Amino acid sequence: MNGLAAAALAAGELICEFSDGYRKSLLAELTGDAPRTELLLIYDFQGADAARVLASNKPGRRPAVIREGDDGVHFIQRDGASVRVTTLTGCTRVKARGGQDICTRFAARHAWHLDTTAHLDADGSFRRQPPGAATGTCEPWRVD
């Protein structure tokens, strides 16, 4: 397990917030407005390779699989003939606790697309994500 995956799983639960994606964020940037939050996801880890996700745009918890890769940690949720993929791409904020640095904010991307090979090649699917994938952050539900 790589350091990013270990840090995410150690949190137990992550809450993720994503902006509108490329087009709306570009307009917000041009007008000087901050991108608005479009999607909120809460991941509850069930082990090293499984999680449940609760999304602000769908009722109920849904299963997700966790895949580690060179490009990040991928949380993949099947949605009919498509997939919803959240990828943690790095740690952007740390906090010292017990003599160790603990990641308290992860950079993330989220996309809903038809590349169902994400289960087999998560990094490859991430590289083929649509350009309008939402950007955001994920933070542990409990920091202390």
Residue 61 gets the label, from left (phi > 0), alpha (psi -120 to 50) or beta, of beta
CA atoms within 13 A on the CB side of 56: 10
Percent residues over pLDDT 90 in the chain: 36
Four-CA torsion 68, 72, 75, 81, nearest 10 degrees: -100
For position 125, what pLDDT does the model report? 86
Q: Amino acid identity of 102?
A: I
The Cα–Cα gap between 1 and 62 comes to 24
pLDDT tops 90 at residue 97: no
| Mean pLDDT within 40-44 | 93
Question: Which residues pair with residue 63 across a beta bridge?
Answer: 52
Tell me the pLDDT band of 44, cut-offs 50, 70 and 90.
Answer: very high
**pLDDT for 118:** 84
More confident residue, 33 or 140: 140
3-139 CATH, one of 1.20.120, 2.60.40, 2.60.120, 2.40.128: 2.40.128
pLDDT-derived band at 133 (thresholds 50, 70, 90) equals confident
**Cα separation, 99 vs 144, whole angstroms:** 14
State pLDDT tens for residues 14-23.
999 998 655 5
Domain ranges of the chain: 3-139
